[in-house]
Amino acid sequence: MDRRAFLAASTGVAVGLAGCLGAAEGESDYDIGMSASAFLPEDDFEPRVGEPVVWRNTGMRAHTVTAYGSGIPDDAAFFASGGFETTAEARRAWNRNGGGAINGGETYEHTFEVPGTYNYFCIPHEPGGMVGSFEVVE
């Protein structure tokens, strides 16, 4: 079973258990789901350098995917839904007008070119613990 098919199957179960929307059509088209207040899967996710990572909002609440600028490798490109260049810029845009929102059923994609640990979060749900981390490997 390929990585995306496995993740989609396990994410559908986790999302169903979380009380959010069940598995959606085309679920194998994403790597990380977003429930009401968590990124799924929460661990054991290791994309390879040059491989796109796709987040899908599998719930109804708007979310963001925003890198912690100090929580990514030094040579890595910053990433954030909405195309912002810094964590501060992404926070300002969200607080101003919901900038960077990924609404229910929508996706965000980023390709990682530098190996290392990447830490990210959802701006509106960060206080509730909606944070994620994974290791990009060669």
Q: Are strands 131-136 and 116-121 parallel, antiparallel or unpaired?
A: antiparallel
Can you tell me the distance from the alpha carbon of 45 to that of 60, in angstroms, rounded to the nearest whole number? 24
Query: From start to end of the chain, where are the E strands?
Result: 32-34, 39-40, 52-57, 66-67, 107-111, 116-121, 131-136
The whole-number pLDDT of residue 28 equals: 55
pLDDT in tens, the chain (138 residues): 344 443 443 334 333 333 333 334 444 589 999 999 999 986 678 999 999 999 999 999 999 999 999 999 999 999 999 999 999 999 999 999 999 999 999 999 999 999 999 999 999 999 999 999 999 999
The whole-number pLDDT of residue 29 equals: 82
The whole-number pLDDT of residue 17 equals: 33
The whole-number pLDDT of residue 33 equals: 95
The whole-number pLDDT of residue 8 equals: 41
| Cβ-contact 32, 54 below 8 angstroms | yes
Which 8-state DSSP code applies to residue 71? G
Would you state the CATH architecture of domain 3-136? Sandwich (2.60)
Can you tell me the distance from the alpha carbon of 133 to that of 42, in angstroms, rounded to the nearest whole number? 8
Domain ranges of the chain: 3-136
Residues 43-61: tens digit of each pLDDT: 678 999 999 999 999 999 9
Can you tell me the distance from the alpha carbon of 85 to that of 15, in angstroms, rounded to the nearest whole number? 30
CA angle 120, 75, 95 (to 5 degrees): 35
Compute the chain's Rg from CA coordinates. Answer: 14
The whole-number pLDDT of residue 88 equals: 98
The whole-number pLDDT of residue 51 equals: 94
